[in-house]
Structure formats: structure tokens, C-alpha cells
Structure 1
């Protein structure tokens, strides 16, 4: 485990913090989005207010319905302009954005509206195996093909470049010669489910302490 940004992993909960409204952006199945939503279900200071998808058939929308979380779909042409997206985020009083398996580049207009308030999880140890096209099984296949002895996850802030924002935390898992990309994927998913929600909470706690 390695924390890289400027916050302590041992911040105490403080029920006096103002509630933070979170939007989760996702493109596919949404297992991480559901895991995050369930983690915060009983939290009085963090509310998963909205699920935003870029595909109308993304299974994350079904997960959102099952969880009772409002969802909205914006197709690619709307991401290019971003005006409608920003309007919906404002209508829902969104304070913070979490990318959980979201595959589009975030428009500059959204980055400017949410400076240092958008975080992403990447299924490898950045700066290795990052950048455009490096997502999902593409990453795990590259890790195995390179003979790496470890992989893991990187949680980082989002900027204008794919996977280049300031790192917040990394968590590692072993990769053995017997591993396939599928077994590496399973190890990495386990790290995602265990650590991503908790790191989100720590980032939000630190944000609250600044105000």
C-alpha cells in the first residue's frame, strides 16, 4: 500500500462535515459503481446522488435502478460539448465526481468546473500501462505479456491527459508465472472493491477539513 497525495489514510470520521453529493461516471457493467454506492449507503455525509453513463445499454444503469439511484445517459456528441452534462451536475448539486470504469476523456469544461474534484481508478501501477486504450483486459494482458511480478491499482486525480493526474494511492498484488490475464484481473478487481470506496472517503474527509 502506498499513499501518494497529501492526506492521511487515518482521518477520523466527523459527522459535522457537510454532505458531499457524488456523481459516479461509468461506461459498462458498473460493479465498482455498485460497490461504492453500497459502501456509502449508511453514510450521513456522503450521498451517491447520480450515476452518469455514456452508453444507453450499459449494465450500470440497471444497477442504479436496483439501488434507487437516479441515472442519466449522455451520448458521445453531448460529451464533446458538455453543456448539458454540466447543467445536470449543477441541478443535482454535485460536489465531486468519481470515475468507475469510465472510458471517455473528460471534457475540459467539466475539468474546469470541478478542479481537483474528479478521481479515477486505473487497473495497473501507473505510470506503467496507462494512456489511451489501456483499460480493462488490455491492461492485464499487457502486464502478463511483459512478465511483470506485480500489478495493482492506482487511484488518481483526473486532468487533461489519460492517466496523468496526481496519484493519490496505489495498492499492489503479486503476479506469478502461472497467472493468466484473467487471474490477474481477478486480483486487481479484489483490490478495487476493497480500497476504492475507502480512499474516496478519505479524499472527501480531507476536502471537508479544508473548509
Structure 2
């Protein structure tokens, strides 16, 4: 039997935090290894406890969840931690900032417990929590902010086929939709996506979409 997914819960509202801890700890495949009420403590605990995933609130004292996410999962972090941002604020700007900071997913606090658990398992597995079409819509709205970056589409170290797959991922297609478009098997698409993430040193599909926009691969 595999080891349970180790979760750190960070929320400044004690009742919310306790609710999350109770829900998560009741699952045989999940284990809460720590909890806290501010972003600075979250960063300190994550570095000490080495959780598999941090469930992170946005608005907190001392250090907000966006900056805490950046310190734990942002570009240049030596040992990044997967972060699932959970907030009461259903604003695109928060989602955008959280993903740009390195979060692997975004969920609202009023989501049912089953959705929270699904989100934790999804992010822990290395997948992005946002559905492809949601990711496409969100990143597309902020594409002008994302595009400026060093390098260009010509500098992307991928084969022509891998570029094609990355472009379709950024267009919001699922693996099965990409398979249909390219007339290949879903398993082959999965292999391509994994290879792309490895070559570009990206953690998940969300980062791949942002990368594609920043390098001008998608217009």
C-alpha cells in the first residue's frame, strides 16, 4: 500500500482550517502533517515538514497566500511544493496571480468536501486542477500580461510534434481531444505531454499553458 499524501493546511480562519483538517484526515490516502494561520508560518512549516501538497488560503496576515505560494512553488525554488489555492474570492485576478505564483490549482472554499478531496488528489498526482477549457479561458484573458518573456517560440527545445501537442494543450484541449485531432492514441498524447513537461522543466499543464503564451506559441 502506498504512503498517504502528506497535506499542510494553511488558513487564517480557525473554523475553516479545522473543517479542512477533519475532512482530509478522515481519508485513508491523505494525512494532515501540519496546519497554520498565516503565509509565513506556511512557508516555514512546508520547508520543515516537506508535505506533498499545501492547501493555501489567499488573504492571510503576515504573508498572504500568493506570496507564500511564490516562495514555495515559484520559479527558481530549489525544492518546489505543490500548492492548491483555496479562497472565498471568485475573482479571475486571484486565480491568475495564484497560477503565476506557481499554484497547481484553484478551488473555492464553498466547494463541497468531495471537490476539495478531488482537488488535493488531482494536484498531488501532478495534474492541474483547472479543467483545460477553464485554463484556456483564464490564461487567454490575461495573455497580454503573460506573453512578454525572454526568448521566443523559435527557442523552444521541442520537436515539431511536441510543439504541436503543446499548442493544443494551450488551446484547452484534453488528451482525448488532442488524440482525435492528431489521429494518435490518448496514451501517446500522455507520453508527449510528459516529455514536454520534462524537457521544459514544468510541473503540470497549467505551467505548460503559461509557458506557451509567454513564448508566443499561442496567439
Shared fold (TM-score greater than 0.5)? no
TM class by smaller structure: 0.3 to 0.5
Question: Looking at CA atoms only, which structure, 1 or 2, has the larger radius of gyration?
Answer: 2
Larger strand share, 1 or 2: 1
